[in-house]
Amino acid sequence: MKYILLFSLLTFSLFAGVNVGDKAPDFTLKTLDGKKTHTMKDYRGKVVLLNLWASWCKGCKKEMPEFISLQKHNTKGFELIAVNLDDSRDNATHFLSTLKQKIPFTVLHDEKKNLAKAYRCSAMPSSYLIDKNGVIKQVIIGSLDSNDIKILQDEINTLK
């Protein structure tokens, strides 16, 4: 019996995502247009909401306007980074064009899904609130609505 429990605990820990209090895994990714490279280290000193999304994800489409509003209301000390996991940049570009709003935050592309692997992302969308020192403060699985964004805004203000 204890071998089954031990195996279960080991299996869970291998597939569990990053946890609150963990250092945010670093990345080196290009923007959706492929012109600029960003790393997590570029954002030290700022509160970051790292969002992993895909064009086929209905919850991602639902929360994207909320993220536009969140970034517009947080111009100092906060950065939203949306990392697209589609195989094709074209799918992501088309998805964003359907929003009919200018995207005020950084959109990166991770076609190899290395960041999703590093964070052991288990569902789309997934978001990670990261403090100024690169420590994960919240792990959010699933899409955020306007009420969730208000609560998140309070946390962002606390971390600034």
Residues serving a catalytic function are 60
Task: Kindly report the number of other CB atoms within 10 A of residue 125's CB atom.
Answer: 25
Where do runs of H (alpha helix) occur along 27-138? 58-72, 89-97, 114-119
Distance (Å, whole) CA 43 – CA 72: 17
User: For every residue of 108-132, which 3-state class applies, written as one string?
Assistant: EECCCCHHHHHHCCCCCCEEEEECC
Yes or no: say if 156 and 74 are a contact pair by the CB < 8 Å rule.
Answer: yes
